[in-house]
Amino acid sequence: MPLPYSSPFQNLLANISAARPKLVRGSPPPPPPPASAITLSHPPVAPPPPPPPTATSPQSSPTGSVGLPDIDRRTNSIASLRLKAREYEMHLEMLRKNGDLIS
């Protein structure tokens, strides 16, 4: 049973589909259309204001750039979290195989 979509919505989908070029394997994705080419039936919504700074927020360097140690620490933290998640996933799989865990 088809869902009852409004005509403007169907036109929007048809225009998006017609404007999108067919992708060929190995080719880079096409650039996004310019913002002036996209028309909206609703006025744009203003983004929420940034949260006020707090005393507990980490202070960045005066130049605003991230130092190399910070990048290394973040990369190591992400890798560590992924490893822990994978280990936990394997632990849950072992429990399922043994019948100890009901999913």
The pTM score is 0.32
**How many Cβ atoms are within 10 Å of 20's Cβ, its own excluded?**
10
Closest to 34 measured CA to CA, from 13, 17, 19, 23:
19
Beta strands of the chain (E only): which ranges? none
User: What is d(CA 5, CA 55) in angstroms, rounded to the nearest whole number?
Assistant: 49
Diameter of the chain measured on Cα atoms: 59
Q: Residue ranges per domain, the chain? A: 68-102
Asked if pLDDT for residue 99 goes beyond 70, the answer is yes
Asked if pLDDT for residue 90 goes beyond 90, the answer is yes
Contact between residue 23 and residue 29 where contact means Cβ atoms under 8 Å apart: yes
Residues 30-74 pLDDT 10s: 666 555 545 545 555 555 666 655 555 455 455 555 578 888 999
